[in-house]
Chains A and B, each alone.
Chain A
Amino acid sequence: MPNPQITRRHKPSARRGREPVRERPSARAPVARGVFGHVTESPKPLERVQQPQPITQEFPKAATEGAVLVTGVCGRLGKLLARELHRTDQVVGVDRRPFDDRPKDIVHHQVDMRRKKMKDIFRGRNIRAVVHLGVLHDPRRSDRERHSWNIVAFQKLLDYMSQYEVPKLVVLSGANVYGPQPNNPQFLTEDAPLLGAQHFGGMRDLVELDMLAQSFFWKHPDTETVVLRPCHIVGRVHNAASNYLRLERPVMVMGFDPMMQVVHEKDVVRAIQLALRPGVRGIYNIRGPGEMPLSHLIRQVGGRPRQVPTPLAKVALDQLWKLRLSTFPSEELDHLRYICMVDDSRARTELGYEPVHSIDRVLKDVRRLRHQLS
């Protein structure tokens, strides 16, 4: 499908002139010495913004040039982000699914991210930022498909980004990459090791994706890479956490009641918008309006928890999973047993992020969709 909006050809020199000129520390890319930031000497420390910016600007300034490419734009979060962004920016959406009710000025490409067509999108227009939301979480898909979608496609995306010198990358990872562990500190900072795949193989891709983004951060200092790791995103989105909270009688593991953090989808969208500002780079944990025990959370949404002992819950979930009656693999029970909470102080000070949606509002949105579904 020829795109009517592709008018200007790619001009790297022009783009470089527009960006606030940052002197490159060296023409060669610095070598990534350690993905967790255990680096003794480096021109740019990981997870640190160049200059901590005073938080005066509520929203990023209107970009005059270049479009924002959003992958996975047809998910609920992607649509929300596109609707927020298109007021100030040109938005280019990429997704396998159709974007039916999109605003007129959003350009949507219905392509698979692994296809050559992706390159044409980069070649055809001036992209000033890429927001990567196109992550496949569905545990029902095969490992091979998940890997090819999450890793191979992302690697291609990174290749195009370096080839066309896109100055900004925002990757939505998640706090789940840290993994729920009994020995987790109450609040995990950005330096904590990513152990999410230790007990749940399904998380391997997401951890790898996070690592890939981190290594891209090092290899391409000219691109400002931002990795956001929000806690459980809930609201109208369809993800495991929201689906769980929407259940009438959600299963809780007997004898466990971990503290939980949830964040409203719109707060995450706001965080992505803040991350798109020029000068912001690094890894940021995103936290919601506050943490409370899981049982309180379920009761406030209006559910009645069903207490099941661990072995029974494991066996039952495995069987339900095999019979395709449940969408939760039994490894995810660890989320109902152990804490996995993040410390968002870096996002508050450096990104200027502050959750604005109260817990009541968050849970109201979760509840509303349940009633619609039922």
Chain B
Amino acid sequence: MAQGGSIVPFAGWRRTRLLGESPLRQALRSVGDRVVRLAEDVVGQDLDARIAGIKTHLNEVGHDPFGFDPETSRYALAMAALLHRRYFRTQVFGINRVPQGRVLIVANHSGQLPLDAVMIGSAMMLDADPPRFPRSMVETWTAELPFISTLYPRLGQVVGSPENARRLLQQEESLIVFPEGARGISKTFDQRYQLTDFGLGFVRLAIETGTPIVPVAVIGGEEQYPSIADFKPLARLLNMPAFPVMPQLFFGMIAPLPTKYRLYFGEPFRFSGDPDDDDSAIEEKVWLVKSTIQSMVNRGLRERKGVFI
């Protein structure tokens, strides 16, 4: 008698095979494990211990309510560690200035792909002691993209909305915020390292929740994907915030250029006042943060000897 009471031989075969882990998944897992081991050799740190060291607020069924999944994040951290240490050879300055507890990390945005967020995140995970797990606020439209919308929450990324930010800060988590948003990341090469307008929301949020703001200057992001123009009609057609024209893609170079990243963490700002104050009053505080980041960027640019060294 065949399995499951069926008289057809091997009728249950497909089912038993599928109930276990699929071969594709097994292959992916073994590749992932190899990457993690490689990254651990390169970094010289136990990545699993780093992941285990972070504190999130699990719900009653043992899941992070925002969808963070340590299993997936382990591979992502390994990739980020390789990028951080080997590909971009990131130098981190002043990471000790990040206070414990809730914190908003505000940085300049650049480089067409949000690798600057990856670098800040991996710096917090690998260079801070104890490791800090920063969440970053991502664009809403990423939630509409298949696969990305699954991957981002698993890595702890959260759709950018004031409610989410407030909730996370009240849970004493750290958030990476790019107040320039899409305007900043899709800058063309001639506007590199010139900060565009900052939104006001992050300062209101910081005042409301009593959160310190740590300004961060990211150097090296602007040169990874130099863009000569923004092709707006196509961006509108594809429903994207911008469509950068990147010459390196014409030469078949899909990977970013291996620039050297430098991250400068500044002294935290602590603002007080009324979160619902007039825009003019909030703008002063935003201007203070923005000008601090701009001057940190300028100093960083003066100090560096070259884009790739």
Q: Which of A's residues lie within 8 Å of B, judged by CB?
A: 182-187, 189, 253-259, 289-293, 296, 304, 309-310, 337-338, 358-359
Are B59 and A187 closer than 8 Å at their CB atoms? no
Closest 9 pairs (CB-CB, A-B): A255-B146, A290-B61, A185-B163, A182-B143, A290-B60, A255-B147, A290-B59, A183-B140, A257-B150
Nearest CB in chain B: distance from A341 CB, A: 8
Known contacts A255-B149, A257-B150, A290-B59: A186-B143 contact under CB 8 Å = no
Contact residues in B for A255 (Cβ distance below 8 Å): 145-150
Decide yes or no: A186 and B158 within 8 Å by CB, A296-B63, A359-B61 being known contacts: yes
Instruction: Tell me which residues across on chain B come within 8 A of A338, comparing CB atoms.
Output: 143
Pairwise interchain contact B61-A289, C-beta atoms closer than 8 A: yes
Q: Are B161 and A185 in contact, CB atoms less than 8 angstroms apart?
A: yes
Report whether A186 and B18 are in contact in the complex, using a CB–CB cutoff of 8 Å.
no
* Measured CA separation A296–B72 after assembly (Å): 14
From known contacts A182-B140, A182-B141, A187-B65, infer whether A256 and B60 are also in contact, taking CB-CB under 8 Å. no
B161 touches A289 (CB 8 A): no
* Residues of chain A lying within 8 A (CB to CB) of residue B69: 293
Range for the number of chain B residues in contact with chain A: 20 to 34
Chain B residue numbers with a CB within 8 Å of A184 are 159
Q: Does B19 lie within 8 Å of A304, measured CB to CB?
A: yes
20 intermolecular pairs with C-beta atoms under 8 Å apart:
A182-B140, A183-B143, A185-B159, A185-B163, A186-B159, A187-B163, A254-B146, A255-B145, A255-B147, A255-B148, A256-B146, A259-B153, A290-B61, A290-B65, A291-B65, A293-B69, A304-B19, A310-B146, A337-B149, A359-B61
CB atoms of A291 and B164 under 8 A apart:
no
- Decide if B167 is an interface residue (CB 8 Å cutoff): yes
Question: Which residues of the other chain, A, contact B143 by a CB distance below 8 angstroms?
Answer: 182-183, 338
Q: Which residue of the partner chain, among A189, A256, A292, contacts B61 with CB atoms under 8 Å?
A: A292
Expressed in whole angstroms, the Cα–Cα distance for A189 and B162 within the complex equals 13
Cβ–Cβ < 8 Å partners of A359 in chain B:
60-61
A189 x B59 contact (CB < 8 A):
no
**Residues of chain A within 8 A of B140, CB atoms compared:** 182-183
- Nearest Cβ distance between residue A359 and chain B, in whole angstroms? 5
Q: How far is the CB of B140 from chain A (nearest CB, A)?
A: 4
- Specify which chain B residues have a CB less than 8 angstroms from the CB of A253 in the assembled complex: 146
B144 at the interface (CB under 8 A from A): yes
Q: Does B66 make an interface contact (CB < 8 A)?
A: yes
Nearest A residue to B67, CB-CB: A259
Q: B residues within 8 A CB of A292?
A: 61, 63
Distance of A336 from chain B, by nearest CB (Å)? 11
The residue on B at minimum CB distance from A295 is: B150
A293 and B65 CA atoms in complex are apart in Å by 9
Known: A182-B141, A182-B159, A185-B163. A289 touches B150 (CB 8 A): no
Known: A182-B144, A186-B167, A304-B18. A259 touches B159 (CB 8 A): no
Q: What mask results when residues 45 to 74 of chain B are scored 1 for a CB within 8 Å of chain A, else 0? A: 000000000000001111101110100000
Contact B153 A289 (CB under 8 A): no
Q: A257-B150, A293-B63 are in contact. List 4 more A-B contacts (CB 8 A).
A: A255-B146, A259-B153, A289-B60, A291-B59
**Complex formed: what's the CA distance from A257 to B148 in Å?**
10
**Least Cβ distance of A293 to chain B in Å?**
7
Contact A185 B153 (CB under 8 A): no
**A358 proximity list for chain B (CB < 8 A):** 60
User: Could you tell me if B144 and A186 are in contact, using CB atoms closer than 8 angstroms?
Assistant: no
* A338, chain B: closest CB distance, angstroms: 7
Within 8 A of A (CB), among B177-222: none
- Indicate the member of A189, A254, A257 with the most B CB atoms within 10 Å: A257
Q: Which residues of A contact B167 (CB under 8 A)?
A: 185-187
The distance from the CB of A181 to the nearest CB of chain B, in whole angstroms, is 9
Closest A residue, CB atoms, query B158:
A186
B161 touches A183 (CB 8 A): yes
* Chain B residue contacts of A257, Cβ below 8 A: 150
A66 and B167 CA atoms in complex are apart in Å by 43
Docked complex Cα distance between A70 and B63 (Å):
37
When distances are taken between beta carbons in the complex, the residues of chain A under 8 Å from B59 are: 290-291
With both beta carbons as reference points, the residue of chain A lying nearest to B58 in the complex is identified as A290
A66 to B94, CA, bound (A): 70
Per the bound structure, the CA–CA distance linking A359 and B63 in Å amounts to 12
Name the distance in Å between A257's Cβ and chain B's nearest Cβ: 5
Interface membership of chain B positions 117-157, coded 1 if the CB is closer than 8 angstroms to chain A and 0 otherwise: 00000000000000000000000110111111110010000
A290 to B64, CA, bound (A): 10
Closest residue of chain B to A296 (Cβ to Cβ) is B63
Contacts of A290 in B (CB 8 A): 59-63, 65
Complex CA distance for A337 and B145, rounded to whole angstroms: 10
Bound complex: CA of A22 vs CA of B164, how far in Å?
Answer: 38
Residues of chain B lying within 8 A (CB to CB) of residue A189? 163
* CB-based nearest B residue for A338: B143
In the complex the two chains form, what is the Cα distance from A205 to B140 in whole Å? Answer: 28
> What's the nearest-Cβ distance from chain B to residue A339, in Å?
8
| Residues 3-38 (chain B) with a chain A CB within 8 angstroms | 18-19
- A166 to B141: give the CA distance in the assembly, Å: 47
Q: Which residue of B lies closest to A254 (CB)?
A: B146
Complex CA distance for A171 and B164, rounded to whole angstroms: 29
Chain A residues near B149: list those with CB within 8 A. 182, 255-256, 258, 337
Q: Once the chains bind, are B65 and A256 in contact (CB under 8 Å)?
A: no
**Residue in B61, B63, B144 whose Cβ sees the most chain A Cβ within 10 Å:** B61
Point out which of B63, B158, B164 has the most chain A C-beta atoms below 10 A from its C-beta: B63
